Amino acid sequence: MLEATLSALEQSARLRIAGAQSLEELEAVRVDALGRKGTLAQASKEMGKVPAEERGRIGKLLNAVKQQLEEALDAKKRHFEEAALKARLDSEWIDLTLPAAGVPRGHLHPISKIQAEIEDLFISMGFVVLDGPEVETEYHNFDALNIPADHPARDMQDTFWVEGGHVLRTHTSPVQVRGMEKLGPPLRMIAPGRVFRNESVDASHDHTFYQLEGMMIDRDVSVGNLTYFMKTLLGSIFGREVTVRLRPGFFPFVEPGFELDIQCLLCGGPGCAVCKQSGWVELLPCGLVNPNVLRMSGIDPEEWNGFAFGLGMTRLVMMRYGIDDIRQLQSGSLRFLNQF
């Protein structure tokens, strides 16, 4: 009777071991069959009822069933472990012959992108790109641009003064002066760069921003030449025709002077924080070069004349990419910069 019970127990346990789908199911089989309260332990309690002459044989049979079930459980457990290891190796497999991933590539700041586009455009039209110091002399930043010490125009620009009578340049116009002094006429040049103003910071103003000055000195230069180059510039940057307006403006280094405004590309005209609710963004002052500026750079205004303009490159970037707060551009925020 006990012999038949052991045979049925072994067969049932083997079927459950074969059908186990996980280590958890396999452990349940082990507990049911070989645990302290399992079926094999219950069967061993019946040994007392076995005739004395059969106990040796039945005892060996019981031990054999236990050993065979343990071996079957171990084999199934190894199967699960090997399958798990193979899955892990497959998922973590690395082809050591492949080149390393390397350092993630960076990208240009949006201001640098726009500057490169403008430089390429003007170079294609015969202009040269000039650079100058950010710490300027008072002469180049003011005097040579027809802004003497007692000129009210100096009150229009809040200046950072440094030692020795120098300033952090308030515009890139000093590069025009240096260009005229060094190269002379005829001259076509642009001067992109960083400038500084000691003013309050808000969504549309910052103490550090970027401008681009342009100048053309030749014979018989007119406002028509100025308008042509400005329309060419804006059409190239925005990739479409934009609405602009030209209105009179006062700037000591040009005469006559104009303000060129662009209709706000963020709100389209109704008004927003960037355009100060006006629908227009003051983009660039421009005009014909004042004869006094030509004289101070050693150029005869009776023979030569020209136009000059100053482009707010930072504001142009804001219009191009729909940025509504100028402070983002120099925040150093990777979350912001990674969008470009």
Architecture category of domain 110-337 in CATH: 2-Layer Sandwich (3.30)
Burial class (CB in 10 A: 0-12, 13-18, 19+), 245: exposed
Weakest-pLDDT range from 33-47, 141-155, 225-239, 314-328: 33-47
| pLDDT tens figures, 319-334 | 788 888 888 888 888 8
pLDDT value of residue 185: 92
Question: Is the Cα dihedral 28, 34, 39, 42 positive or negative?
Answer: negative
| pLDDT tens figures, 126-185 | 999 999 999 999 899 998 998 888 776 566 568 888 888 899 999 999 999 999 999 999
Give me the percent of the chain exceeding a pLDDT of 90. Answer: 28
DSSP H or E run through 124: helix 110-124
**Mean pLDDT calculated for residue range 183-204:** 89
Confidence bin at 115 (pLDDT 50/70/90): very high
Return the domain boundaries, the chain.
2-91, 110-337
pLDDT value at 196 more than 80: yes
Model-level pTM? 0.63
pLDDT value at 84 more than 70: yes
Looking at mean pLDDT, say which of 19-33, 50-64, 228-242, 279-293 comes out highest: 279-293
